[in-house]
Amino acid sequence: MAEFLNDVSRTFSEYLLIPGYTDENCTTDKVDVSTTITRYQGSDEKALKLNIPLVSAVMQSVSDDRMAIALAREGGLSFIYGAQSIEDQARMVKKVKDYKAGFVLSDSNISPDATMADVIALKSRSGHSTMAVTDDGSAHGKLLGVVTSRDYRIGKMDPQTKVREFMTPFEKLIYAKEGISLSEANDMIWDHKLNALPVVNDRQQLVAFVFRKDYESHKDNPNELLDEQKRYMVGAGINSRDYQLRVPALIEAGADILCIDSSEGFSVWQKKTIEWIKDKYGDSVKVGAGNVVDGEGFRFLADCGADFVKVGIGGGSICITRETKGIGRGQASAVIDVARARDEYLKETGIYVPICSDGGIVYDYHMTLALAMGADFIMLGRYFARFDESPTDRLIVNGQYVKEYWGEGSNRARNWQRYDMGGKSSLSFEEGVDSYVPYAGPLKDNVGLTISKIKSTMCNCGVTNIHDLQKNARLTLVSATSIVEGGAHDVIVKNNGGNQHLG
């Protein structure tokens, strides 16, 4: 006879946190929301960490290089989607690593025989006003000069004017030689009041640029998630079909961590994928796996060598796996069960394997609940899809700004590798929908507000770090009536669209 679990499959909205004692040292400015995202034993200094407990989902409509840069700037991490060619995904990873390397590969280059019209067109495409003028118009050609917006006047000059006639020639440039340290380059920028410093080799070939804005960016974003070389950190999604080709390309491009992107991770396919990676690279390559919804699934992936385990099936806002297949579990129940298994695994083996809650987040407070229930960090799709930095178009639908958002199991994504069960390479049904989400503006403002809410709630619980929240939080189930009581009720709410009576 089938096994029946006695517990009810519950969601985050069915729980509330009970306040704890808050002393004078428990203030939001002292709350630390950093968290470890890879397995460790004892005080392993090689374990990767996030400065905020948020990562963006492995989805076409969420995580590209632009999202990865914006989120790393705030202290989180993106897993660039894998439902694209290996070359394109590796290129996105490399863009993120090059962006904050300090020494940035020039992506706006032009030849001296190009025209001012070409300069304007290139600026429109790249968004960059500083351009290297090289003999062959490439990023590593012989540097002949530099063009900035100060070198030409639209409307006052003939658009067909050659670049060589208005560029700042090499002889008048302040430049650095290859081998200079980033600190020395920044000193040159400061001493000479430069916006950009070109770096060349002994043959006068362009090697890179160092930009003032990157130095200032770090001052404005102290939580930036950087690797040992001061580059932004970035993750990448992989699958259990072409991993032997995809993984080497992503590692070469600079990916800091990988994640097997699958709707269900308790499978021989994930075991084979993890074992191949660990056999080839050892512990130098970090890879998360999932998704699972119970302790048995967690232990399987932990024993396989997964560096973190992703929790959640069917809880995403665009996921219809539960409707189409009848498989899944309420996200709160899944996180609680897997967190319990993780703690038991730690006691038995001395190894801590972080867990990631993926799906089921509707409100910001659900994130704090997920952390309190045991999640080490949270993967979000819909949340990040709403922002300027997501790769989808912003549209107006029924008078409201929205962003497009679709599931990896939808026909639009055509990410059949994510659902591979060792059979045919195409699906006969969908497990995700194509939708819109309300546009919410820039990532920085929204993530800052979310983290403020999390920190404030942690103070209400009397804790100043995620570990203590997991250890000391007290939670209570809520009834349907108390859920109504928790919102505005029995009043007339004022809003821009008119008055609305509640209650």
* Angstrom distances, CA of residue 240 to CA of 46, 90, 92, 244, 331: 26, 17, 20, 9, 24
Output DSSP code: residue 418. G
Q: 11 pairs with which residues across the strands? A: none
Catalytic residue among 319, 356, 459, 461: 319
The tokens 């006969």 sit on which residue? 428
Sign of CA dihedral 123, 125, 128, 134: negative
Task: Name the helix (H) or strand (E) containing 45.
Answer: none
Contact 450, 348 (CB under 8 A): no
Tokens of 373: 């229930």
Picking from 29, 4, 57, the residue whose alpha carbon sits closest to that of residue 288 is 57
Q: Are 293 and 337 in contact (CB under 8 A)?
A: yes
Q: How far apart are CA 57 and CA 353, in angstroms?
A: 20
Beta bridge partners of 218: none
9: Cβ–Cβ under 8 A, 6 or more apart, which residues?
Answer: 329, 330, 333
Half-sphere exposure of 111 (CA within 13 A, CB side): 6
Active site residue 418: yes
Q: Rounded to whole angstroms, how far apart are CA atoms 231 and 208? A: 14
Residues 357, 360, 363, 368, Cα dihedral to 10°: -30
Pick the catalytic residue: 231, 259, 418, 459?
418
User: In the annotation, is 356 catalytic?
Assistant: no
Q: Which residues are catalytic?
A: 319, 418
